[in-house]
Amino acid sequence: MRLYHYKQIVEVLRTIKQIQSAGLYADCQEAVEVLTTFVSDIDANCKKTVELLEMYYETLNKVSIGEADYSCLAEQINRISKSIEIESQPHKIEAVFITHRASMSDSIESIYLAAKADPDCDAFWIPVPHIMHNLEGKPDIVHFEGAEHYGKGIDVTQWQEYDIKARHPDIIFTFNAYDSFNGVSSIHPDYYSEILCDQTDLLIYIPYYVDIDDGSADGYSQLPGCVYSHKTILSTNKMRDIYSQRFNQRYEKILGKINDKFIALGSPKYDKAINAKREDYELPSRWKELVDKKKIISYISSIGPSLETRNTYLGKLRSILKTFQKRDDVIVWWRPHPLLESSFRALVPDLLPEYQKIVADFISEDRGIYDDTSELHRAIVWGDGFYGDWSSLVLLYQITGKPVMLADTTTLLERLKPGLSDCRYESETDTLSNYIDGIVNGKLQRRILKNEEKGIINADGTAGKVIYEYAKEIILNID
């Protein structure tokens, strides 16, 4: 029996005891009728409990007409309580995982896999629609990424077939940050965090953006994903403290000071990056031909720099791709942010045709891989190094020990920004060409991120399991 149903039964039994003590036997019988039907419907194994409820109903009738003494009722209700405790075991929990974009679902995937492996949990992976906005910021095109976008270990449940409000899952995991506060796209309104928080006992928000600094805290800590979640899981103690501080600065006067909302347990995104293997990600035949035995550099272009530098960004984009295509000893695996084109369309539509032409030219030349699929980790596991704009993907590459170099999109020159310490490529004057040389010649060695220095919690591929066990413990101890 589900833990949620068991708790409902216990609460009804508590109410029946109170009504019984008040001598309201007719009301008591009505409640017993409802409870008997409920128990019969949810669990066919509770036959003894149903039998005891029916006997209790008859005794209530006799007591009400003076044929039996009311003292026998307490003993019968105690027998019912003991029976339901025995017949309802184990108390299974129900956990729901809401995803609207497959490429971001690594934020919750390893938690789902841990829940799915637990015999005392029914885990539901539910992809739901998301909506792209038009130039006026209004809902326009509905997209849906179904079962074909997810791996073999994921058992997809159709969103139309799972009634969250009626089922009231014990736990809901989400990586949706924005609800309606995004000018480019939004999750289906039925799955806003503001709605979900009332349809579960525990709404847990896992940011899809990982960070080791305070760059993302100001924005993300005050978005609906954080505001409406019961718990928000972060990857470092530093980020936990920053999120908590920023959140309380904004909401303390409204909600009071909240100290236990933000928890540092790591990130499933790191789990996926650490545990991914090439054999798990088959390449399309043409990609295999292009790669052959060459080194692969993953080139990631993100939204922020494109909106900040605009025309300069597009010029630099062409320059970067040309640098790669001049070479025969390396393959560029270009993976734009999944919302990059949509961002151009919604926010800087005058630049959209030029961006689309750059993409079309790159694809037609057929000398590199253009990847707009939802398989983010295929690019990570096959890449020998990272090059591109700053985003949280840098940290996913970094934790694998692969070399990383950041592009400087503020200039058309080939000068690149230096990386940070530990395992990124470091030089203020080195160029993309020199970086490529270093990877091709094997001069850039893998250096695993010093997790103890960066403070990333459970950076050994186990964060998802730890997060699931944490959530389960909370649910089992809610009265």
What is the predicted pLDDT for the residue at 430? 66
Given 59, 87, 115, the domain boundary residue is: 87
What is the predicted pLDDT for the residue at 426? 42
Q: For residue range 30-76, what is the model confidence (pLDDT) as tens digits?
A: 999 999 999 999 998 899 999 999 999 999 999 988 888 888 998 99
CA distance 217 to 220: 5
Q: Do 224 and 360 sit in the same domain of this protein?
A: no
Given 55, 87, 119, the domain boundary residue is: 87
Given 25, 59, 87, the domain boundary residue is: 87
Q: For residue range 335-354, what is the model confidence (pLDDT) as tens digits?
A: 998 778 888 887 888 888 99
Q: Do 296 and 253 sit in the same domain of this protein?
A: no
Closest CA to 300 of 391, 384, 222: 391
- DSSP H helical segments within 401-447, as ranges? 432-440
Q: Do 28 and 152 sit in the same domain of this protein?
A: no
What is the predicted pLDDT for the residue at 447? 57
Q: Do 281 and 217 sit in the same domain of this protein?
A: no
Q: Mapped to the 3 state alphabet, what secondary structure does 54-98 carry?
A: HHHHHHHHHHHCCCCCCHHHHHHHHHHHHHHHHHCCCCEEEEEEE
The CATH number assigned to the domain holding 67 equals 1.20.120
Cα angle at 238 between 232 and 239, to 5 degrees? 35
Amino acid at 352: L
Number of domains forming the structure of the chain: 3
- Residue 460 CA, chain-centre distance (Å), reads 19
Q: Do 215 and 107 sit in the same domain of this protein?
A: yes
β-sheet with 262-264: strand ranges across: 121-127, 93-99, 171-174, 202-205, 231-234, 262-264
**pLDDT top residue among 345 and 237:** 237
| List of residues 6+ apart from 128 with CB closer than 8 A | 98, 99, 100, 144, 159, 187, 188, 190, 191
CA distance 228 to 174: 11
The CATH number assigned to the domain holding 346 equals 3.40.50
Identify the domain containing residue 322 by its residue range.
Answer: 276-452
> Is the pLDDT confidence value at 419 over 80?
no
Q: For residue range 4-28, what is the model confidence (pLDDT) as tens digits?
A: 999 999 999 999 999 999 989 999 9
Asked if residues 232 and 240 have their Cβ atoms less than 8 Å apart, the reply is no
Count other C-beta atoms under 10 Å from residue 271's C-beta: 26
Q: For residue range 179-208, what is the model confidence (pLDDT) as tens digits?
A: 988 878 899 999 999 999 999 999 999 998
Q: Do 348 and 440 sit in the same domain of this protein?
A: yes
Q: Do 325 and 389 sit in the same domain of this protein?
A: yes
Q: Do 74 and 147 sit in the same domain of this protein?
A: no
Closest CA to 174 of 243, 109, 114, 263: 109
What is the predicted pLDDT for the residue at 213? 64
Task: Name the token pair of 380.
Answer: 């990570």
Which residues does residue 94 pair with via DSSP β-bridges, in sequence order? 122
Q: For residue range 358-416, what is the model confidence (pLDDT) as tens digits?
A: 999 999 999 999 999 888 889 999 999 888 887 778 888 878 888 888 887 666 555 44
Q: What is the mean pLDDT of the chain?
A: 87
Looking at the chain, the whole-number percentage of residues with pLDDT higher than 90 is 58
Average pLDDT over residues 299-313: 78
Q: Do 253 and 306 sit in the same domain of this protein?
A: no
Q: For residue range 253-282, what is the model confidence (pLDDT) as tens digits?
A: 888 888 899 999 999 999 999 999 999 898
Q: pLDDT tier at 155 (50, 70, 90 boundaries)?
A: very high
What is the predicted pLDDT for the residue at 406? 81
> Is the pLDDT confidence value at 295 over 50?
yes
Q: Do 397 and 346 sit in the same domain of this protein?
A: yes
Q: pLDDT tier at 124 (50, 70, 90 boundaries)?
A: very high
Task: Name the token pair of 259.
Answer: 């100290």
What is the predicted pLDDT for the residue at 381? 93
Burial of 45 (0-12, 13-18, 19+ CB in 10 A): exposed
CA distance 88 to 2: 8
> Is the pLDDT confidence value at 131 over 80?
yes
